[in-house]
Amino acid sequence: METDENILLNRAKKLAKSQHRTAKKIDIRCIEFTLCGMSFAFEIQSIREILRYNRTITPLPFLPPFLIGVMNVRGEVVPVVDLGLYVGLPTQEESKKNFKSLIILQKNELVFAFPCERIVRIREFSNNELQPSIAAQSQIIEHISKGCGRGGITILDADACMMQLQKSIVAG
């Protein structure tokens, strides 16, 4: 006959085995934000900083409509891009009034600021969780996205986005 001590020890071993979980592999850490009521994200390593949208933006003539203007960030002139307008999301003048934050991306010498409605949270994904962006809202989103994650979030490739923007501004 088993003793109470042996019974408890056996139960503990079984519970320890059944609760053994493998750690989730994290390939992508990103900041989720909302734009035109939709969820997007940029990978954290591409984000230089996040600021409040309370800065003076100086409009410049003869630029593409998605380029709102430029702003001064600690002595550096940074172009400000309306990402929603750039990727072809249905935007209204009202949505621009809802901008609360600026996400500043940087890759080497290339820097852009993107206003957004709200910074939501940090999200983590593994590459195998992402779905292809075949049903992307626009061709530009399809070209600059890494894929879609749970909850309908579109993860944007910051490097591809900035390179596309640079080409569009130079060509435009």
Q: Is the pLDDT of residue 43 over 80?
A: yes
pLDDT in tens, 49-58: 999 988 889 9
Report whether pLDDT(24) > 80.
Answer: no
Task: Give the global pTM.
Answer: 0.77
pLDDT in tens, 79-131: 999 998 888 877 655 555 688 999 999 998 899 999 999 999 999 888 777 77
Q: What is the mean pLDDT of the chain?
A: 83
Q: Distance between CA atoms of 140 and 37, rounded to whole angstroms?
A: 18
Q: Helix, strand or coil for residue 16?
A: helix
Q: Domains (ranges, CATH) in the chain?
A: 29-171 (2.40.50.180)
Cβ–Cβ < 8 Å for 105, 114: yes
Cβ atoms of 70 and 111 closer than 8 Å: no
Of all residues in the chain, what percent carry a pLDDT higher than 70? 85
Can you give the pLDDT at residue 1? 60
The reported pLDDT for the residue numbered 89 is: 79
